[in-house]
Amino acid sequence: MEYFLQQLINGITLGAIYGLIAIGYTMVYGIIGMINFAHGEIYMIGAFIALGTILAIGPVGAGAVVLAILLALLVAMMLTATYGWMLERVAYRPLRGAPRLAALISAIGMSILLQNYVQLTQGARVKTLQPLVAGGFTLMEHDGFEVSLSYMQILIVVATIALMTIFTLVITRTALGRAQRACEQDSTMAALVGINVDRTIALTFVMGAALAAVAGLMVTLYYGVIDFFIGFVAGIKAFTAAVFGGIGSIPGAILGGLLIGLIEAFWSGYFSIEYKDVAAFSILVLVLLFRPTGLLGRPEVEKV
């Protein structure tokens, strides 16, 4: 029971991070029907900016840790959002209306470009950060097995739930969200009724990038080790999470992320760690066999 609880905590934390990145995939897919393969790299850049900000602030006392993290969050979100905007402007907008395959290749190209850009400017070695938020609770103890829950894990889960709620509200309740949904359904028609389609799509990229920056900051704080290659693995996992939950759906992205995190944790915990990725992807295939649009995805309606 204690062991189960501990693996549950591990899985939820890991899944929340996947979910945060997956929102970016799902939002872009929802609006232009294209996988932004460079999103993993945007997350990696977010992590580098967050780490850079924290290191620039320098050592802070216990009281200022919260301020330092908030500042890092703000700087990382703003700068990473700029990268997201530039990405859309440079790599996708010129290809709007071109066949989807062209945009896909452009996305892969941007992914390689950004990865190499960070490798060349920041070096190929890992960057490290000592724990800023240390400590946590011991939830229960039984036969010498302590179930530990760290402050950092709480922070990650709370941030994920908060951001998912905020972004769901933005999409369902605001004018911007209405414009996004209109572009998703039919961008030509949306333009005809006076929606600035380019601006709406650009804002979607900006929002996705800002979320990726939050995930980047969380990973930097939680694991304390980042390198130029982290975007690749995280991107694949998050993309899988987005497909799992139903691509296009924000709660689906979080649900997919959590499920993949939990499958990995429990498979590692009760079976073999070696085969956890095999397990996660096998279950994904099974789900897609029975629900081709993912868990919360809506079947695509043929527009007439």
Partner 1 sequence: MKRSTMLMTAALAVAVGFGAAARAEIVVAVVGPMSGKEAAFGEQMRRGAEMAIAHLNAAAGVLGQKLKLEIGDDRCDPKEAVAVANQMVGKKVRFVAGHFCSGSSIPASRVYNEEGIVQISPASTNPQLTEQGFSNVFRVCGRDDQQGKVAGDFLADRFKGKRIAILHDKTAYGKGLADETKKALNAKGVTEALYEAYTAGEKDYGPLVSKMKQSRVDAVYVGGYHTEAGLITRQMREQGMDAQIVSGDAMVTNEYWAITGNAGQGALMTFSPDPRKNPANAQIVDQFRRAGGDPEGYTLYTYGAIQAWVQAVTKAAKADSAAVIAALRGNQFETVLGRIGFDRKGDVTAPGYVFYQWKDGKYDYYTP
Take residue 34 and report the two structure tokens written for it. Answer: 């294209």
Among 268, 279, 288, 295, binds partner 1 (CB under 8 A): 268
**CB of residue 9 to partner 1, shortest distance in Å:** 8
Q: Reduced to 3 states, what is the DSSP secondary structure of residue 136?
A: strand
149 pairs with which residues across the strands?
137
| Whether 25 contacts 253, CB under 8 Å | yes
- Is residue 219 part of the contact set for partner 1 (CB under 8 A)? yes
Residue 247 main-chain phi, psi, to 5 deg: -70, 135
The distance of closest approach from Cβ of residue 128 to partner 1 in the complex, given in angstroms and rounded to an integer, is 4
Of these, 51, 209, 264, 287, which contacts partner 1 (CB under 8 A)?
264
Residue with smaller CB distance to partner 1, 68 or 206: 68
Q: Which residues of 225-243 are buried (b: 16+ CB within 10 A; e: fewer)?
A: ebbbbbbeebbebbbbbbb
- Token pair in block for residue 173: 């309740």
* C-alpha 72: how far from chain center: 17
Nearer to partner 1, 206 or 237 (CB): 237
Stretch that binds partner 1, among 61-69, 176-184, 200-208, 223-231 (CB under 8 A): 223-231
Q: Which amino acid is at 43?
A: Y
Six-digit token string for 58: 């320098």
- Within 13 Å of residue 47, how many CA atoms lie on the same side as its CB? 32
Interface with partner 1 (CB under 8 A), residue total: 41
Per-residue binding string, partner 1, 68-107, x by CB under 8 A, is ----------------------------------------
Rounded CA separation 157/143 (Å)? 28
Is 198 a binder of partner 1 (CB under 8 A)? no
Please provide the size of the chain in residues: 304
> Using CB under 8 A, which of 224, 283, 291, 293 touches partner 1?
224
Per rule CB under 8 A, is residue 159 in the interface with partner 1?
Answer: no
Q: Which window, 50-58, 68-76, 143-151, 204-212, contacts partner 1 (CB under 8 A)?
A: 143-151
List 140's β-bridge partners, or say none.
Answer: 147
Question: What CA–CA distance (Å, rounded) separates 68 from 64?
Answer: 6
The contact set with partner 1 (CB under 8 A) reads 3, 6-7, 10-11, 13-14, 119, 123-126, 128, 130-131, 134, 136, 138, 144-146, 148, 150, 219, 223-225, 227, 229-230, 233, 264-266, 268-269, 272-274, 276-277
